[in-house]
Chain A
Amino acid sequence: MTETSSMAPAQAEPGSETLAVRASGVDRAFGGVQALRDASFAARPGEIHALAGENGAGKSTLIKVLCGLIKADKGTVEIFGTEVSRVVEPAARRRMGVATAFQELSLLPDLTVAENLLLQDPPRGRLGLVQRRRLAPAAEEILNRYGVDDIDPRATAADLSVAQRQVVELVRVLAGEPRVVILDEPTAALADRQVDWLAGHMRRLRDAGSCVIFTSHRWREIESLADRVTVFRNGTHVATRDTLSEAEAVTLMSGRSFAGAYPQITTEPTDDNALSVTNLHSGRLAGVDFDLRRGEILGVGGLAGQGQRDLFLSLFGAQRVRRGTIAVDGKAVTIRSPKDAIRAGVGIAYVPEDRKAEGLFLPLSIRDNIAAATLSRRATAGFVNRGKERAVVKSIVDQLNIGAGRSTNRAADTLSGGNQQKVVMARWLLTEARILLLFDVTRGVDAATKHDIYELVGTLAAQGRAILYYSSETEEIAHLCHRVLVLREGRVAAELAGPVGDAERIVAASIKEGQDA
């Protein structure tokens, strides 16, 4: 066994014990994006091992390689000393005692909870036939064994709430009493009570000798749960430690020191209202009122799933508005589709969180991607003015420094996550929208691009644009915004003057009045 240089001292004695999981020298690329680069990782039986890193650091890809969902381009993976690099079949890993709860790939939506739980080992009677009548009771028994009593095993998975789905997914993984448990962001959708529940089971499995690997973006959880922490950055192993302070971890994860991560807000909003929303009902929104001024960065906070997404989508015309009025520059507007929102008279742009699903046309060129929302503005009689298009795209590409000056004919999927996000930003900047709806735009981008985006948001505000800003990282909202609206159950629960500075204040406002979820 060769020792890779990136291995930290804590793992320097791999021969002295059998490792539960070991990956070394793993490369993996998606399109042109190198998700893992000579990545190494090792975890022992009987420990809870946290895998930390920024979004896009390669954690999820490593997990997919470990559990046999995707193949490494290079490198080796071993489970209890058995080399499994060539086996790309989760079923085979499962037989070796490796069970994984995924962040995105979750339950089968059309199947019932019981079918999901018992898919691999349903109750069978004579002739080996599945006893469908026993499915639900058997599932109920499993759920109860893990202390879950508020989920109907007969319910279709698609009908469950996100948190319930996550709980079922976790029970499915735990129920096999696996020797290696891999949990990718298991707590992201869970309430505190459920997090405690999960922590209890993770500890129990650890004490029984299993190897528990998990990722989390909440440092508090890593600190309280993990026996060891491995930090990833830019697709590679940075360090593995027994103890790690938050400040140290942030430095390791981002490659820069904690202080000065957010730029100062230097400009003040004007007094002109760019957007006025009155009594807005849409999706989960149950009557939202607020004004957004020119030059203002207005943060939208609150726990996940309190209607933030509904707010952004309905303002952009991508979701039906049940009731309420939207006024732009004091004039009431009707926005039935994104087309209406983009129209010059309205001038609203929405930059989505999930750039792969909602933003990019991955196989199309960078230029096509950037030009997509403003095609008719450079067209004569339906024909694209290619010269003009090239010039416009080039200037915005230079301005945002996208893709290191290489050709814009390249497909968007050859770009890194950060550059891809800039491509989407560029598309919307070309619309010259005066109101920008930025929904979690820094998710999954590297630290440098994050910083660029913060600066860009500041510049846009200084130019007098009105910005509605949501981020799943409350820290960002606390530092970047002039004002913060906290949403709870589809209403504005609190309004905080910014910069808030301390993210805990936003969190506190989100869960006031004895809310536990």
Chain B
Amino acid sequence: MRDALRRVSLGYLVLAATAVAYIVVYTSRLGRFPTSFDYLSILNTTLPLVFVAIGQSLVVLTGGIDLSVGGMVSVCVAVTATTVSSSITWLFVVLAIGTACGALNGLIVAYGRIAPILTTLATLSIFTGLGLRVLPVPGGSIPQEVRLVLTNPATPTGLIWLGLAVAGWLVLRRTRFGMRVYAIGSDEASARAVGVPAAAVKLKVYALSGLCSALAAVFYVSTTTSGDANAGNPFILTSIASVVVGGVAFSGGRGSALGAVAGAVALTLVIDILFFSGIDPLYQSLFQGLFLVVAVLLGTVAALAARRRRQA
């Protein structure tokens, strides 16, 4: 677990470095420190990615990958944007839909024995289609009251939700289920041999990833105030990037969703840094890509150095 701590702290280091860079660039550009409004807008735009990243990190911790987060976010965005205006209870239906989509993935992966990357590739297409069915053209809306509670642009309600997400993870980490997630990611065959019901745990993990996507969708509609059935697509790659930058091992078993949260915030900050440094936004992905590879390389180098030290 010491190793995991080291990896997580790398995620935090990356976040700290980007945060410092953000403040420096912002201040030198505008001649004043960022205001609470700036922080709040960063927070609110990051929240959807934070949720998807938490779900993705759970899946990656078991040694899997979830490409269908894009589709699940899309479906839930579509449903949220078209229904919540009529009744707030639809919010809970959205969460149920996300969970059900995730559970479908889990069933196929755990009991159908199809590789996670392939399962979620196929369901991505299905869920995206479903989203289009619900919301063929961008549109829809969300009641102002919901927005004020979820992503109030004036008061930091987002902070509460971020806190709840983090607390949720901390609670999960302290359940037997949480321990089993790590056990499966560390070595699924061994975990099964010592009595971990691997299939059941994986089913729950994918369902949770679906729930996280649904939460992300709700916050997404809340910040953008309307829906788009293609809204989920960018989350596939950004959630993977967050998880990676956050120091979760792709082989599973090592890392933490908190690292992924840090990674998600760092990724969002990078965009703002580029904006304030006056770099052409067209180059944005170039720097995001470099950021991703460099962060992982740093992690690899740190792990290598640690191993050298241990061997010596």
Residues of A within 8 A of B (CB): 67, 69, 89-91, 93-94, 100, 102, 105-112, 115, 119-120, 122, 124, 128-132, 154, 156, 158-159, 172
Closest to A283 in B: B311
Do residues A109 and B186 form an inter-chain contact, with CB atoms below 8 A?
A: yes
Q: Chain A residues near B253: list those with CB within 8 A.
A: 108-111
Partner-binding segment picked from B193-201, B203-211, B289-297:
B193-201
Closest to B197 in A: A91
Task: Please tell me the size bucket of the interface on B.
Answer: 20 to 34
Do residues B174 and A90 form an inter-chain contact, with CB atoms below 8 A?
A: no
Closest to B191 in A: A108
Q: How far is the CA of A167 from the CA of B9 in the complex (A)?
A: 31
Q: How far is the CA of A108 from the CA of B189 in the complex (A)?
A: 9
Q: Chain A residues near B193: list those with CB within 8 A.
A: 67, 69, 90, 100, 102, 105
Do residues A91 and B195 form an inter-chain contact, with CB atoms below 8 A?
A: yes
Do residues B190 and A112 form an inter-chain contact, with CB atoms below 8 A?
A: no
Q: Chain A nearest CB: distance from B170 CB in Å?
A: 10
A90 in complex: contacting residue of B2, B179, B182, B195, CB < 8 Å: B195
B171 within 8 A of A: yes
B4 within 8 A of A: yes
Closest to A112 in B: B1
Q: Chain A nearest CB: distance from B307 CB in Å?
A: 10
Closest to A127 in B: B171
Do residues B4 and A110 form an inter-chain contact, with CB atoms below 8 A?
A: yes
Known: A90-B193, A108-B183. A159 touches B176 (CB 8 A): no
Q: How far is the CA of A270 from the CA of B197 in the complex (A)?
A: 60
Q: Chain A residues near B173: list those with CB within 8 A.
A: 132
Query: What mask results when residues 137 to 180 of chain B are scored 1 for a CB within 8 Å of chain A, else 0?
Result: 00000000000000000000000000000000001011110111
Q: How far is the CA of A110 from the CA of B253 in the complex (A)?
A: 6
The residue among B4, B190, B191, B192 with the most chain A CB atoms within 10 A of its own CB is B190
Q: How far is the CA of A172 from the CA of B192 in the complex (A)?
A: 15
Q: Chain B nearest CB: distance from A166 CB in Å?
A: 14
Do residues A111 and B175 form an inter-chain contact, with CB atoms below 8 A?
A: no
Do residues A120 and B194 form an inter-chain contact, with CB atoms below 8 A?
A: yes
Do residues B174 and A132 form an inter-chain contact, with CB atoms below 8 A?
A: yes
Q: Chain A nearest CB: distance from B36 CB in Å?
A: 34
Known: A94-B195, A122-B176, A130-B175. A110 touches B189 (CB 8 A): no
Q: How far is the CA of A102 from the CA of B173 in the complex (A)?
A: 28
Q: Chain A residues near B254: list those with CB within 8 A.
A: 110
Q: Chain B residues near A122: list those with CB within 8 A.
A: 176, 179
Closest 4 CB pairs of A and B: A110-B186, A110-B253, A91-B195, A108-B186
B175 in complex: contacting residue of A91, A107, A112, A129, CB < 8 Å: A129
Q: How far is the CA of A91 from the CA of B187 in the complex (A)?
A: 16
Q: How far is the CA of A112 from the CA of B3 in the complex (A)?
A: 10
Do residues B1 and A115 form an inter-chain contact, with CB atoms below 8 A?
A: yes
A-B contact pairs, 14 of them (CB 8 A): A91-B195, A91-B197, A100-B193, A105-B189, A105-B193, A108-B186, A110-B4, A111-B1, A111-B186, A115-B179, A119-B194, A124-B176, A129-B175, A158-B3
Do residues A108 and B175 form an inter-chain contact, with CB atoms below 8 A?
A: no
A110 in complex: contacting residue of B3, B175, B178, B180, CB < 8 Å: B3
